Structure 1
Amino acid sequence: MEYVTHLPQNDPSVATTSVHGLSFTYPVQYYDFHVYYYAHNAKSLTESDNLRAKLLEDFPEDSANGSIIVKKLPDDKIIGPHPTQFWEADVRRPEVFIKVLSWFQLYHGNLSVLIHPQTGNDLEDHTNSALWLGHRLPLLVDVFPGNSDGAIPEFGVKRGARIQPQDFDSHKTVINKK
């Protein structure tokens, strides 16, 4: 995935610490929003690109400070468990999650959006604990059986460490400077 937005290198906690002292219910550490589109369909691709641009435009501060991590596929390949192309927005701060969730409810248009927690149980997170906006798409869940280490990808860090839920809040985010 290519990162469109990034955590601030000097102080990643700006993007990861609630300014109101809020937290998600354990073991939820953050949320992913997957916005599905069809790259071979010009209308779908344009709607997806416009929605991503609108998200960045409507949340300039949260996008700039890494509170919303936006990632997109570098090409038109499909990666499981997702059944079609997608881009993603990840949100760690609960107050930002509320704003982004209600924003997607209003603006997702014809696009399907999978919203799921990150708890360390990929299969459960993507299925029974997931929310959908628009049409629910069938996921390719056979990718999960060998991927059940119970860990959560480090928030906002490309190829970051996988952290156990109980260690997530005390983990210091380290951004590789390349």
Structure 2
Amino acid sequence: MNETHRSSTDSSEASHTEDGLSGSFEANEDVEKALLPHMDIKSGPQNIGKETSWLKLCSRWPFLVTFLNISLFIASFTLWLWPAPLRHPFKTQDYWKETSFYSPILERFDIPKISRVTNGTLYDTNPPSVLRQRIGKEADKEWHRIGDHVWPLVIGEADVKQLGKDPRVAVKIPEDLGYGSDAYIAQTEVFHHLHCLDMLRREVSYEHCHQQDISQCLIMTMVTQSTPPTPQTDLKTVVEARTREWHFHIYFLLQSPTETAAALALRDAVLRLRRDGAFVAVPLFRVNEFPIGPHPAGSYEIWVPDSSFSDVFFYLAANRGNLSVLVHPLTSSQRRDHETRNAWMGTPWPIYLDSLPSDGDVPLQYPELGLGWSTSPEQEISLEERLRRGAKVEALLANDPEAAPAPED
């Protein structure tokens, strides 16, 4: 549009010049003015300005999109790295559950956190601490307060099993007492320990014993005494609680081309052996070339059903070289699987446990195989069949002097 306007102006001025043979200064000045867009062509500069602004905006648009993408990436990456406890702060009760064995107490009562300094000095203060006094009404009253007067708890069969006990031998509350058919009696173990210590305090009375040592042992044992849980022996509970699938995590140093190549070669070997029918093992499609989740180094996962566990375990143990392998079951408690139910081949690596959920559903993998957690009920061995097989094994081992016999209860 600007060029057309200028062209017509040039033609008009050219005709005017031809008509005036002699020409004049004014005419020449008019021609110069006509050739200057800011003098007579008012629309030209505005249009040029608009086009220039649009071109500048268009040229800046990719920069703006790139800037927004980078900002979004940085924000997302920061949130991903932000510790989970800071995003979702844990309560004190949550920490008790994470660091303790299962207890119905933690489900029913909020237990506060109390900071206390233990007085474990060898010699008593003056007057002596009431908990160090071997005899006397004040000592008897205080020991009764912290131990004997605490009443038992009523729990259900599910609690009994989670505590690692056998419901068949647990003390069941009679139904006529009004607690229903699923009621068992339980006592908090710490108060049981305190009761036992109180009985020791009462029994330690002979004069030739070194009193200072005894009083110190009493107070320190009260603070630190603990008892490991009883192993589970109920057949139904053990069978239902067993794991059906396992994970093998192969770790390698990302900075080491040798280790990386060895890890990838081991992965290819497992795939070939699965193809040839040696065992069932499914490496995940992804090889982690950077730390991810709880894993601090380069790694990859191999899923193994319980039917192939022993074959895969021995193969990796014999062929891993210098690589470290984390082995853990696959259950609904992923954190416990990685923290307390795990095993290592080679040098253990520190893993980031806070990225793992404590409870949830079992992650279902490769159900099309019909193995592990996807095994059909028809393929399960019944409890009756297990009992028959167990009795047969005991009969075969009965006359073998090197085989320990099972208890008769």
For Structure 1 versus Structure 2, the TM-score category normalised by the shorter chain is 0.5 to 0.7
Q: Is the 8 A contact 1:116 1:131 kept in 2?
A: yes
Matched, 1:114 2:326: yes
CA distance in 2 between partners of 1:115 and 1:62 (Å): 22
Select between 129-138 and 66-75 the one with higher mean Cα deviation: 66-75
Higher strand proportion: 1
CA distance in 1 between partners of 2:315 and 2:240 (Å): 22
SS state of the match for residue 135, structure 1?
Answer: coil
The letter for the 2-side match of 1:109 is G
Aligned to 2:292: 79
CA distance in 2 between partners of 1:25 and 1:91 (Å): 19
Matched, 1:128 2:340: yes
CA offset at residue 105 of structure 1?
A: 0.9
The letter for the 1-side match of 2:297 is T
The letter for the 1-side match of 2:241 is Y
Higher helix proportion: 2
- Could you list the per-position Cα deviations for residues 81-140 of structure 1 after superposition, in whole angstroms to 9, with x for gaps in the alignment? 11111111101142x111000101101111000010011111110011001000010011
Change in 2 beyond 3 A, CA 1:78/1:155: same
Matched, 1:98 2:310: yes
Select between 73-82 and 99-108 the one with higher mean Cα deviation: 73-82
Aligned to 1:89: 302
CA distance in 2 between partners of 1:84 and 1:55 (Å): 21
SS state of the match for residue 89, structure 1?
Answer: strand
Structure 1 unpaired stretches of 5+:
1-23, 158-166, 172-178
| Aligned counterpart for 2:275 among listed residues 51, 60, 68 | 60
Change in 2 beyond 3 A, CA 1:83/1:116: same
- Normalised to the residue count of structure 1, the TM-score between the two structures is 0.66
Q: Is the 8 A contact 2:245 2:329 kept in 1?
A: yes
* Greater relative contact order, per chain length (Cα 8 Å cut-off, separation 6+): 1
| Aligned counterpart for 1:150 among listed residues 329, 350, 360 | 360
Change in 2 beyond 3 A, CA 1:114/1:75: closer
SS state of the match for residue 291, structure 2?
Answer: coil
Change in 2 beyond 3 A, CA 1:99/1:25: farther
RMSD between aligned alpha carbons? 2.7
Structure 2 unpaired stretches of 5+:
1-238, 368-372, 378-409
Change in 2 beyond 3 A, CA 1:25/1:136: farther
Matched, 1:43 2:246: no
Q: Is the 8 A contact 1:73 1:85 kept in 2?
A: no
Give identity over the alignment, percent. Answer: 26
Q: How many residues align?
A: 135
Q: Is the 8 A contact 1:62 1:68 kept in 2?
A: no
CA distance in 1 between partners of 2:240 and 2:325 (Å): 22
Q: Is the 8 A contact 1:112 1:135 kept in 2?
A: yes
Aligned to 2:243: 28
SS state of the match for residue 151, structure 1?
Answer: coil
- Could you list the per-position Cα deviations for residues 27-84 of structure 1 after superposition, in whole angstroms to 9, with x for gaps in the alignment? 4120000000122210111110111112223332448xx9311115355221121111
Change in 2 beyond 3 A, CA 1:75/1:98: closer
- Normalised to the residue count of structure 2, the TM-score between the two structures is 0.30
